[in-house]
Structure 1
Amino acid sequence: SEGGRTEERERGAMARGLRRRGLLVLLSVLLLLLSGFPLSLCGPKKKAPPAARKEDIPFIRCQVCEKIAYQLHHQVKKEEAQISPKKVSELQIIEIAENVCNLKKEEADWLLRIDIVEKGDALELVEQETEGHCNSECKTIERACQEVMGYSDTDVAEFIYTSKPSLDSLVKFLCDDLSKSCLTKPPPVPKDRAPGEPFAPKSSKDAEMEKILRSMEVTYLHI
């Protein structure tokens, strides 16, 4: 009966929720053990997670948009090379576009290699050689990325799939036509703007550990 099926779906959803909560606890403990952090020092006080500085977004919006376009173009080309001679499907491109601004996804790892540097009355996004710890600058770039993409991921994916644009054409489509992020010059940065944190590179151990944990989480959630 319909009532029975509904009850079965609810039980399934509850079971999945419990598994996910259990995974989060397991991953937290594993992270502490692998990092060598003594569990006895885990007290009730927790440092607040870094938050985006929304006031900085107008100064970097256009640059972020251009980097999104580059990442979409680069990641689709990379996927094409990996599955050749097969062709990348529109659904695969949509998945890249959906994840490119989500730090929980591999497609957004590029966000961890960007430092915001103040130069005169402007902010400049400077790419680093290694990934860094995600501080408020990293969160600010992620937030700007999400604002640029908005609900346009499927539109961008369709354009890439049907038009196979050059990088310049994709930048124009995303940053001028669609999001309008680069139509106007960014305003000057106020002289009293508080400087952001310095870029803090991750150790190779930390970077590898995070990738392992993310892989475990993805595997578990697909059980």
Structure 2
Amino acid sequence: MNLFSLDSIKKILSLAFVIVGLLSLLYYIYDLKYPNHFVADMYGIEVLFRVSILIMIALPMFIGLLLIVIGRKRGKNRLTMSGIVLANIFSLILILLSINVYFSRHKDEIRKTYLHKSTDELIRIALNKNDQYAIYAIIARKDTSAVPALCQILLDENQRVKLRIESAHALGQIGGDISRDALEKAITRSKNSYLTETIKYAIENIDKNKIQEVQ
């Protein structure tokens, strides 16, 4: 004899699903309140955007929970089932959002270690993982040994545009004749407006720094 009927098992699973959804909601709020990445002046707009999404997801879930309570009190199984379906669907969305937040925070933790890695390691990370954040660490230290690799990334049209943009930015910060020559070559081949603008800015930055050195 079965201890639980199929209907009871479904209800238990639905309840567990909603509880995980509510925990996911709390985790999402925690991430908003305690971000583990650099927070700029525009973070308030990011919070507003994310909160609006959270409300659009959480509100239908709470309506579903309310329908479950009302349906059980009035003995209306159809109303209860509608509430369960609604609560479960939006609980799933919250769970998926929280999973995305978890992996995003995990990536941020890994990227915090980039400043302690060697330039060669950072170049490998940028190329193998297509992670432009590795180039940010190179910009911070302005390592001239990275120039040949950065030039190669910039001039390689098969590379991701974001990676090429950050390479151009890095070359502009590091400076030097080799960097400027690569930027001049890249600007004639660029088919992306953001990349072109970054290259122009990088060239201007190199020229400005060279004038300041002469003075």
TM-score range with shorter-chain normalisation? under 0.3
Structure label with greater radius of gyration: 2
Give the TM-score normalised by the residue count of structure 2.
0.23
Higher helix share: 2
